[in-house]
Structure 1
Amino acid sequence: MNITKRYATLDIFRLIAAFLIIAIHTSPFLSINETADFIIVHIIARVAVPFFFMVTGYFLYLSMEKGNKLRRTLNKLIGIYIIGIFLYLPLNLYGSYFSQENLPFQITKDLIFDGTFYHLWYLPATIIGILLVQFLLRRFRMIHVFIITIVLYVIGLGGDSYYGIVTQISTVHKSYDFLFKIMDYTRSGLFFAPVYLFLGSWIAYSKHKIKTEFAVIGLIISNVLLMAEGLLLHNFNVQRHDSMYIMLLPSMYFLFLILLQCNGNNIKELRTLSMVIYIIHPWMIVIVRLIAKILHLQNLLIYNNLLHFLSVSILSLLAGLIVIYFFTRLKQKGPGSNSRAWVEVDLNALVHNAFALKECLPKKCELMAVVKAGAYGHGDVETAKALNKAGFHAFAVATLTEGIRLRKNGVKGEILILGYTNPSDVNYLTKYKLTQTVLNYDYGKSLNESSKQVKVHIKIDTGMHRLGEDYDGYDNLEHIYELNNLKIEGMFTHLCTSDSLKDTDITFSKLQIERFYETIRYLQAKGYDTGKLHIQSSYGILNYPELECDYVRAGIALYGVLSDRNNTRLSVDLKPVLSLKARVSIIKNIKANESVSYGRLFTAKQNMKVATVTIGYADGVPRNLFEADTYVLLHSQKAPVIGRICMDQFVIDVTDIDDVRPDDIVTIIGNDGEEQIYCEDFATECGTISNEILSRLGSRLGYIFKH
């Protein structure tokens, strides 16, 4: 099950709405009290379809905001509609649907407006409503779109709950007569769906919130007025249908805002389950009636409306769960992420670290998340999107390909490419709105040869001598500003010894900082706009937090790890984001003087029990791990690594660990119970730094992202 804490109540209410739809088609209280049934079924339950429209509009906006295409949603709805049409063909045939007069016109009308079976109208209504609202949003301001959809809704009201009133006017009556030749009802994609789809989109766009108590009061008042409206219209017998009410609009608005504010654990499969129940429940009505007829239980299962509703609901729920089960099985294209060896990424810890680092910075300074090399092995797309949702909108990558991947997956904000991009690929920089680093004047000239305007940051070499124009190369820097196709939006340098607190290294870092600001002062005195400035990377933040810059480039520290255990001037509450795990494949008993793995580098001094672990150097575990005299965690206990690391596996000593079995989980980096292996310590034992360990984790590993 996919469990998150966002939109929980929306997903739960989807399921409630699906059962309300069943209630509309079975009238559960009709055999108890007609008035109560009307209030519950024909007024209160009428929130179900508008809710479905609003939640569709809400998530459609969020999806398009992430860069997903409208076509994706429409194709999904069309696919569901086609399935629904074929699902109910047997009942259409049984009901002599294809014996109607003027059949081609009837089929066309039903396909577009009314649905080929009575409840399927919702799907074409959603499709048409989405197309109409998106068309209007591309051409008009939101307030104008709202007015247009309200006008359409008012027209729909005249053909629905207010039909008996508006048809007192002869010309209006004739207009509706003509309209009903094209569609059977005004609760369609033209008149009913657009305003609710728009409301959902507008709430997502504006991130509109009001105090919960005001929303509750608004909901109570609008619901009271809604019931009064429905009862009055029913009492005066003016309703042609009862899907559309005036007070349904404010009622849905307040209800939706309340649901958005009530978050908790939710199961995403509820979304699919509610749709399956909606689509399949008429078949369940038929099956219940058939069972009742065969067993002579009509009085119990049909004429007792409440039992009829309950039996249809239970069957629909069971059918939905069965469909979900088989759908999930079919959707599994391969083994699970944690079947052999995998990485677990705690996105909550990531966001915590981002805010913890941000608190160390001057107020106007923004955090630029460095997500190069797959976010240091953590998964660049997922980490960037998690940071986007938390309000961070500046990222740094190493390559053009990394930047494009982020954009294609909907990551918003500035994306700075820190390394080399072939000047022949400038079109991709502009197409995906990426910012390129100018490595020096000659490289800038190459970028400038394109006719496209390229956003750039200029790298200043203040002493690392890797990339950048020399800090005192003033002529070249001024010439870069003369390159018309470069839109200079920032300048930066990199401190090569900021991770060290040795006096000589501190002196050199301060020299680099002074050189950078000296260059900035020179350019600004000449009238050049130096744009956003940034100097610090992770250790720059921790050892030189006082620097007044526009950005800091948070890399390894963002992931709750430092390159090694060196002390820093600033102590920040950082949480490790990544764990590395694998499984035990087999357990063996070996005798004293027997050797293990390649080269026979390990020989048992006594009888031992050993286990093979399903991860190796092809997955990123250093081949010299055994030589480092390290251990892993199993059953919250330390298990020494023995023998040389193989490409796909290695061996551990489990002599002193009880009940070890195949498939048990082994922790290479991370915590198991009260024991923890920190990446810094693991890297030190292997003679390297955390950055290398994390960034070379292999592509064969599965990834599990914890929200």
Structure 2
Amino acid sequence: MRHLSIDILKVTAAFFVVFIHLDILRELNTTVSHLLVNGIFRLSVPLFLIITGYFFTRIETGKDFIKWISRMLILYVVWSIIYLPFWLGKAGVVTTLINIFNGYYALWYITGVILAGCLLYLLMGKPASTLIILSMILYISGTLLQYAANLNVFSGIISKVLAFTPSHRNFLFDCLPFMIIGLLIRRAGISNVKNYGLPIVASAFALLIAESYLNLKLFGADKQLDMMFSLLLISPLLFTYIMKIDILGKYKHLSSFATAVYLIHPAIIFIGQDYVYDDKLSALRYLFVIGVLVPVSYVLVKLNSKVKYLL
């Protein structure tokens, strides 16, 4: 039997990303949609990163690190090639360079993890207190930059730079802090990490929703919010709470299924928008995207057992 808690959490996080990109419920209620898309569902990336950091402890030697980074680079190259038809020839020079080096659409996550992983490998020997302080400083700094951009605190070139999403949602301000948290949780041992219980987790959720609602009032429904202060609290609380729930099962490929969902869903959304429905907020998008995404992701899992480095 296999402990499936972390796999189920990863699948849930993957579908959170799908719902963000579908702009779920936007056509019905902008407030509810905002609280989901720019609130609860924003837990997805921090949870993915914490999980990545949690398993990063397996990297103990330089040989382990080379193997890990090689696998990540191959994964990035493979999926960058898969997504080439969606943007090649349609983008200018600057956008092309961004797509290649930062990652097209959801592929930014892979480049972020690669670069953050390089830093984390160098920092692994540092005391836990140092890593905690570093992660807090970095994430809060990145979040402040995002808020400064949304509030138009600066003008001119500084404003344009801050409005550029990778200026804050990147390997340093977003990926590294949560990977550090995952590493520290694993290093401490999940059994030794205090379980604060459902009331505390629920309170942290309420704080996340409150911050999301405040952002709605401050910035309106059209501002994207990748980073929020409350995510730094709720993400590790939720992760440790779920990890302490014993869910046993025999299925070994849920983690790969989650990766497949994350990597392939943008392509399915783009195909739907171009060939299936005219309105991006058409109710048909739910049926088409989910209906195609699940079986395609399953096929990718099966292919990955034969063609390594696909997931």
TM-score (norm 1): 0.40
In the TM superposition, what whole-angstrom CA distance separates every residue of 1:603-657 from its partner, at most 9, and x where no partner exists?
xxxxxxxxxxxxxxxxxxxxxxxxxxxxxxxxxxxxxxxxxxxxxxxxxxxxxxx
Letter in 1 for 2:56: L
Partner residue of 1:5 out of 2, 7, 17: 2
| Partner of residue 125, structure 1 | 112
Distance 2:149 2:307 in 1: 48
For residues 457-472 of structure 1, the aligned pairs below 5 Å read none
How far off is 1:13 after superposition? Answer: 1.4
1:53–1:211 Cα change, 3 Å: closer
Partner residue of 2:298 out of 321, 330, 335: 321
| Partner of residue 308, structure 1 | 285
In the TM superposition, what whole-angstrom CA distance separates every residue of 1:377-436 from its partner, at most 9, and x where no partner exists?
xxxxxxxxxxxxxxxxxxxxxxxxxxxxxxxxxxxxxxxxxxxxxxxxxxxxxxxxxxxx
Give the conservation status (yes or no) of the 8 Å contact 2:146–2:163: no
Distance 1:174 1:215 in 2: 46
In the TM superposition, what whole-angstrom CA distance separates every residue of 1:448-498 from its partner, at most 9, and x where no partner exists?
xxxxxxxxxxxxxxxxxxxxxxxxxxxxxxxxxxxxxxxxxxxxxxxxxxx
Distance 2:194 2:124 in 1: 28
For residues 317-356 of structure 1, the aligned pairs below 5 Å read 317-329=294-306
Give the conservation status (yes or no) of the 8 Å contact 2:161–2:167: no
| Partner of residue 47, structure 1 | 43
| Partner of residue 353, structure 1 | none
1:110–1:326 Cα change, 3 Å: closer
Identity, in percent, stands at 22
Give the conservation status (yes or no) of the 8 Å contact 1:14–1:52: yes
Give the conservation status (yes or no) of the 8 Å contact 1:163–1:240: no
Give the conservation status (yes or no) of the 8 Å contact 1:43–1:230: yes
For residues 516-595 of structure 1, the aligned pairs below 5 Å read none
Does 2:97 align with 1:111? Answer: no
Does 2:118 align with 1:135? Answer: no
| Partner of residue 245, structure 2 | 262
| Partner of residue 15, structure 2 | 19
Give the conservation status (yes or no) of the 8 Å contact 1:27–1:309: no
Distance 1:73 1:310 in 2: 37
| Partner of residue 36, structure 1 | 32
| SS at 1:73 equivalent | helix
Partner residue of 2:233 out of 240, 250, 257: 250
Distance 2:154 2:46 in 1: 29
Bigger radius of gyration among the two: 1
How far off is 1:125 after superposition? Answer: 0.7
Distance 2:33 2:162 in 1: 30
| SS at 1:191 equivalent | helix
Give the conservation status (yes or no) of the 8 Å contact 1:218–1:251: no
| Partner of residue 80, structure 2 | 85
How large is the Cα RMSD of the aligned pairs? Answer: 2.6
Give the conservation status (yes or no) of the 8 Å contact 1:23–1:309: no
Does 2:191 align with 1:206? Answer: no
In the TM superposition, what whole-angstrom CA distance separates every residue of 1:211-252 from its partner, at most 9, and x where no partner exists?
54x232221111101111111122111895301011111100
| Partner of residue 476, structure 1 | none
Partner residue of 1:74 out of 44, 69, 73: 69
TM-score (norm 2): 0.88
In the TM superposition, what whole-angstrom CA distance separates every residue of 1:246-266 from its partner, at most 9, and x where no partner exists?
111110011110111112224
How far off is 1:151 after superposition? Answer: 1.6
Distance 1:240 1:34 in 2: 12
Q: Number of residues paired by the alignment?
A: 305
For residues 448-527 of structure 1, the aligned pairs below 5 Å read none
Instruction: Structure 1: give runs of 5+ residues left out of the alignment.
Output: 332-707
Give the conservation status (yes or no) of the 8 Å contact 2:8–2:254: yes
Does 2:153 align with 1:168? Answer: yes
Instruction: Structure 2: give runs of 5+ residues left out of the alignment.
Output: none
Does 2:202 align with 1:217? Answer: no
How far off is 1:192 after superposition? Answer: 0.5
How far off is 1:287 after superposition? Answer: 2.7
For residues 411-422 of structure 1, the aligned pairs below 5 Å read none
Letter in 1 for 2:261: I
1:93–1:112 Cα change, 3 Å: closer
Give the conservation status (yes or no) of the 8 Å contact 2:54–2:183: yes
Give the conservation status (yes or no) of the 8 Å contact 1:284–1:312: yes
Asked which structure has the greater RCO (Cα within 8 Å, sep 6+), the reply is 2
For residues 686-701 of structure 1, the aligned pairs below 5 Å read none
1:242–1:261 Cα change, 3 Å: same
| SS at 1:192 equivalent | helix
Distance 1:137 1:327 in 2: 30
Distance 1:285 1:169 in 2: 35
Distance 1:194 1:327 in 2: 28
How far off is 1:273 after superposition? Answer: 1.2
Does 2:218 align with 1:232? Answer: no
Give the conservation status (yes or no) of the 8 Å contact 2:14–2:261: yes
| SS at 2:59 equivalent | helix
Partner residue of 1:241 out of 202, 224, 235: 224
Distance 2:95 2:275 in 1: 32
In the TM superposition, what whole-angstrom CA distance separates every residue of 1:274-301 from its partner, at most 9, and x where no partner exists?
11111111111133234425xxxx47xx
| Partner of residue 147, structure 1 | 133
How far off is 1:309 after superposition? Answer: 2.6
